[in-house]
Chain A
Amino acid sequence: MSTVTRNPLVLGNKSYKDITDDILAPVEAPPGKRWFALFLSAKMLFLFYILHIAYIIATGMGLLGVNHPIGWGTMIITFVFWIGIGHAGTLISAVLFLFRQKWRTSVARSAEAMTVFAVMTAGIFPLIHTGRPWLDFWLLPYPNQRGPLWVNFRSPLLWDVFAVSTYATVSSVFWYVGLVPDFATIRDRAQTKLRKTIYGALSLGWRGSARDWSHYEMVYLLLAGLSTPLVLSVHTIVSFDFAVSMLPGWHTTIFPPYFVAGAIFSGFGMVVTLLTLVRIGFPQFKDYITIDHMEVMNKIIMATGLLVGYAYGSEFFIAWYSGNPYEVYAFTNRAFGPYWWAYWTMITCNVVIPQLFWFRQFRRSIPVMFVVSIFVNIGMWFERFVITVTSLHRDFLPSNWGMYAWSWFDTAILFGSFGMFLTIFMLYLKFVPAISIAEVKPVLYVGKKRPNHGGGH
Chain B
Amino acid sequence: MAKSNTGGIAGIWLDDHECVVAAGKVREAGFKKFDAITPFPVHGMEEAIGIKRSFIPYVTFAFALIGLGAGTLLQVWTSSVSWPLNVGGKPFVSGPAFAPIMFEIMILFAALSSVVALFAICRLPKINPPVIDPDLTCHKFAIFISSEDSGYNAERCEQLLKSLGAVEVKRVAHY
Contacts and interface: CB of A to CB of B under 8 A. Distances in A.
A166 to B, nearest CB: 4
A59 interface: no
A210 B83 contact: no
Contact of A226 (B51, B107, B128): B107
A210 B19 CA distance: 12
Interface string B66-95: 000000001100110011010110100010
A28 interface: no
A152 B40 contact: no
Interface in A180-196: 180-181, 184-185, 187-189
B16 to A, nearest CB: 8
A188 B131 contact: yes
A170 B135 contact: no
A216 interface: yes
A253 B101 CA distance: 20
Given A162-B100, A170-B108, A185-B39, A214 B51 contact: yes
Contacts, number: 206
Nearest to A17: B139
Nearest to A21: B138
Interface string A15-31: 11100100000000000
Contact of A188 (B38, B85, B110, B134): B134
A219 B120 CA distance: 12
Given A208-B137, A218-B56, A150 B108 contact: no
Interface in A123-142: 141
Interface residues of B, number: 65
A233 B1 CA distance: 40
A204 B118 CA distance: 12
A169 interface: yes
A215 B52 CA distance: 10
A177 interface: yes
Given A205-B128, A237-B100, A442-B40, A223 B115 contact: yes
A148 B125 CA distance: 39
B23 to A, nearest CB: 8
Interface in A225-245: 226-227, 229-230, 233, 237, 240
B60 A222 contact: yes
Contact of A233 (B41, B49, B100, B125): B100
Interface string A444-457: 00000010110001
Interface string B94-117: 100110110111011011101101
Interface in B4-33: 15, 17, 23
Contacts of B118: 177, 215-216, 219
A218 B85 CA distance: 44
A89 to B, nearest CB: 16
B139 A150 contact: no
A240 B100 contact: yes
A222 B74 CA distance: 26
B134 A204 contact: no
Contact of B56 (A180, A205, A215): A215
Interface in A155-201: 156, 158-159, 162-163, 166, 169-170, 173-174, 177, 180-181, 184-185, 187-189, 200-201
B87 A211 contact: no
A205 B129 contact: yes
B54 interface: yes
A80 to B, nearest CB: 17
Contacts of B137: 181, 184-185, 187-189, 206-208
9 contacts: A189-B134, A209-B35, A211-B49, A211-B51, A213-B45, A216-B41, A229-B103, A240-B100, A438-B39
Given A204-B124, A215-B56, A237-B100, 12 more contacts: A16-B39, A16-B139, A141-B74, A159-B100, A169-B111, A181-B40, A188-B134, A209-B35, A213-B45, A218-B54, A223-B114, A441-B40
